[in-house]
Amino acid sequence: MTKNNHQFFPIASPTTMSKIPQSNCQTDNTSLQAPLAVFYALFFLFGLSGNLLALWVFLRVHPKKNSVRIFLINLALADLLLVICLPFRVVYHSNNDRWVLPPLLCRIVGIIFYMNMYISIVLLGFISVDRYLKFQRLSCRRVFLHSRWSVLLCGVIWAVAFVCGICLIVLNAEQGQSQQCFQYKTLHDLKWKAYFNFTIVGMFWLIYIALMISYVKIGMKLLTTSKKKPDFPNAAKYNKTAWKSFFVLILFTICFVPYHSVRIFYIMSQIAKDTPCERISVLDKTNEVVLLLSAFNSCLDPVMYFLLCSSIRKVILKIICNSFCQQNGKGLISSIDTPQELPNANAIVPMTNAQDVTLSKTTDKVVL
């Protein structure tokens, strides 16, 4: 009979559980198995379709290659690779947290999942810096915003992630067969891995600070401008773009901050030798829930492209109208032509302040 590695000792009370040696702690995530399987399945369906559509729009329909578009193409690709890993988690949780495939595949799936999650985080950070430099019109923006620089930067990100992934697969080899895959593991003998995980967490917080500073400064400057000049023709547009900046920051915070806050205590428990079993159980369950939020970001990124990037939104709406409104939607199609076909707002409403003209030209593309 196969031993179930996910059950606590049936007679163990919470008091007794806290006294069990850490090496004998066995987590029980039975209550989470069905919800995790359902949510990961939904994330896979929506994330796959959304990111495929986004890549198609970026590469075929709207092929203009500026710096932020290069970052968005790579972001959609990273999200797509992440969601491809989700069916393995669906099968794993649906099968009572038992891994029936080769152990090597378990390591590969786990590393690809986390590798692409952090590639997405790094790219979102670079997009925020890119938008901030463009908004502030700093002298260094010409180098950073150049498409060749963006391609080189993305190439370095993928190369570093690939090398780290290969090293983790080789160095994290486990002996024998195991029916567990995404379970809690102690790292008493693999402290280098714990320190590596701490480094990744520290990198996230640095990116989060940069992203927060960039979008908050953009948003506050736009709000201040709209309040100082309420009669200015583009005041409403400034206010709208400011809240878009805060919206991106809120989405990033909801998806990634809970996971990386829990992650600190989770890693500490992995290397500590006296962590109570009850605390391990709580951390393991909490980690599974907040990881779900991080995976959810792969579905939200395509929605963010649609809501915040006017050119992408117009292209997708035009495609929808061409598909379903060929007879009755001619008026709607003509109203959502590409930005190049729209009249210049500055030609219609002249501006008296040169600084306001510069700000107006930057406002529409400052978020994505």
Q: What is the CATH number of the domain that holds 232?
A: 1.20.1070.10
Q: Which domain holds residue 324?
A: 312-340
Closest CA to 71 of 127, 25, 118, 137: 127
Task: Show which of 291, 308, 325 is a domain's final residue.
Answer: 308
pLDDT tens by residue, 148-168: 888 999 999 999 999 999 999
pLDDT tens by residue, 271-325: 988 888 889 999 999 999 999 999 999 999 998 888 877 777 787 788 778 777 6
Our measurement of the distance from residue 144's CA atom to the centroid of its chain's CA atoms, rounded to an integer in Å, reads 22
**316/182 same-domain check:** no
**173/54 same-domain check:** yes
Q: Domain count for the chain, please give it.
A: 2
pLDDT for position 274 = 84
Q: Is the pLDDT of residue 137 over 80?
A: no
**288/331 same-domain check:** no
**258/325 same-domain check:** no
Residue 232 lies in a domain: yes
CA distance 210 to 204: 10
Q: Among 43-47, 246-250, 361-365, which stretch is predicted with the lowest mean pLDDT? A: 361-365
Residue 20 lies in a domain: no
Burial of 113 (0-12, 13-18, 19+ CB in 10 A): buried
Residue 231 lies in a domain: yes
Reported as a pLDDT band with limits 50, 70 and 90, residue 236 is confident
pLDDT tens by residue, 336-356: 444 444 333 333 233 434 444
pLDDT for position 157 = 96
Q: Among 20-29, 212-221, 240-249, 254-263, which stretch is predicted with the lowest mean pLDDT? A: 20-29
**193/333 same-domain check:** no
Residue 8 lies in a domain: no
pLDDT tens by residue, 2-23: 444 444 434 344 444 444 555 5
Residue 327 lies in a domain: yes
CA distances from 155 to 134, 143, 368 (A): 22, 16, 20
More confident residue, 194 or 350: 194
Residue 366 lies in a domain: no
**218/330 same-domain check:** no
